[in-house]
Amino acid sequence: MPLVLAGFGHVGRAFGSLLLDKEVTLRFRYGLKLCLQAILNSDGGLCSSARSGLDRVIDIGTKPLAAYPNWRPGLQPQDVLGKINPGVFVECTPSDIQTGEPGLGDIRTALKTGWHVVTANKGPLVVDFQGLRNLARRNHVSLKYSAATAAALPTLDMALYSLAGTEVLSIEGILNGTSNYILTRIGEGTGYAAALKEAQEKGIAEHDPKLDVEGWDTAAKLLLIGNSVLGLGLKLRDIAVEGITRIPPELPARAKQEGKAVKLIGYLTRAGSHWRAGVSPRAIDRSHPLFGVVGTNKGISFTTDTMGSVTATGGKSDPRGAAAALLKDIIHIFARVQ
């Protein structure tokens, strides 16, 4: 099964290295032989024959792609996708939730030329969820994005597979590890600015933490979950987004005194005949299934008609966790599990 990998940052590299680590598991547990035939970044790429594959390239770790002898500057996904027998296009370029690019155009090209797509990139789906789903359906291929909806935490799996046959009545999630880490530290008595600085020093928060702390990362994941599970057709503007930057300083301490904890909750709840979608900081108490989700951990809780409330928590937030979610999606496309 041919693979083309676009994006060779932390997640792309982790995916390449995971492919090597899991070769035997894939072959013997799932009957899958994946062959990485092209790796692309924004400047160009490497391309191999069907027989050899590029898996070994990744072994070398942090060496830039351009340093390899068969480097082709300017090589783009569209140069490759039409020329190889379609397999899976693995998309790991940086996420832009305003334009969806560069992933959006490449994913469209891949779907149109008969490639399955698995992506860790929220941008393209946030911008054109329905268009991409329709394109995949028309071309009889899969479009999967577990890695874009909280990575190793099972969110879509839980709703669509483990809760199959139920009606989901509401969803609440702690979907962003960075803001949860900062809130946890604030709950322990650290101020917002100091907690943010600490998170940045530890590599948990980005230099520009806006997307995480202002709630947009949570909102983007919520959009993907709401549209996939509930068919809501949400756009980003339909979600009421409030981040953690304006929490009154006295709130976390008061919450703690009352045995509560402040979390940044993404929620989808029914209000009569329509759904309300939002992201906001909330003080939740001990009986809440997400109360114990601390630090960079994430969690999601579904209320259903027949199975009651079911919650998933944990799952690595690092590039390897995201890579493992990409690989899981590929397994689900081809292998019958159980």
Catalytic residue set:
221
Q: Which of 39, 81, 158, 168 binds its own copies (CB under 8 A)?
A: 158
Q: Which long-range contacts (CB under 8 A, 24 or more apart) does 205-212 make?
A: 205/178, 205/181, 206/178, 209/178, 211/97, 212/176, 212/178, 212/179
Nearest to 83 by CA among 50, 108, 56: 50
Q: Which of 164, 203, 248, 257 binds its own copies (CB under 8 A)?
A: 164
332 binds its own copies (CB under 8 A): yes
Instruction: Name the DSSP class of 94.
Output: P
Closest contact distance (angstroms) between CB of 206 and its own copies is 21
Closest contact distance (angstroms) between CB of 76 and its own copies is 29
Residues 101 and 128: beta-carbon distance below 8 Å: no
- Choice between 160 and 194, CB closer to its own copies: 160
- Choice between 251 and 307, CB closer to its own copies: 307
- Choice between 83 and 188, CB closer to its own copies: 188
Closest contact distance (angstroms) between CB of 152 and its own copies is 4
Residues 54 and 3: beta-carbon distance below 8 Å: no
* Span from 64-72, 81-89, 105-113, 284-292 in contact with its own copies (CB under 8 A): 284-292
Provide the Cα torsion 208, 214, 217, 218; round to 10°: 150
22 binds its own copies (CB under 8 A): yes
323 binds its own copies (CB under 8 A): yes
Task: Provide φ and ψ at 73, rounded to 5°.
Answer: -60, 140
280 binds its own copies (CB under 8 A): no
118 binds its own copies (CB under 8 A): no
Task: Provide φ and ψ at 260, rounded to 5°.
Answer: -110, 175
120 binds its own copies (CB under 8 A): no
260 binds its own copies (CB under 8 A): no
CA distances 291 to 11, 112, 262, 326, Å, are: 29, 44, 9, 28
188 binds its own copies (CB under 8 A): no
307 binds its own copies (CB under 8 A): yes
Nearest to 17 by CA among 63, 58, 65, 60: 58
Residues 71 and 104: beta-carbon distance below 8 Å: no
Residues 150 and 300: beta-carbon distance below 8 Å: yes
Q: Which residues contact 108 (CB under 8 A, 6 or more apart)?
A: 132, 135
- Choice between 108 and 144, CB closer to its own copies: 144
Q: Which of 166, 190, 200, 280 binds its own copies (CB under 8 A)?
A: 166
The footprint of its own copies on this chain (CB under 8 A) covers a number of residues equal to 52
286 binds its own copies (CB under 8 A): yes
- Choice between 15 and 216, CB closer to its own copies: 15
* Structure-token match 């597979």, residue found: 161
- Binding residues for its own copies, rule: CB under 8 A, are 18, 22, 25-26, 30, 144, 152-154, 156-158, 160-167, 228, 286-287, 289, 291-292, 294, 301, 304, 306-316, 320-321, 323-325, 327-328, 331-332, 335, 337-338
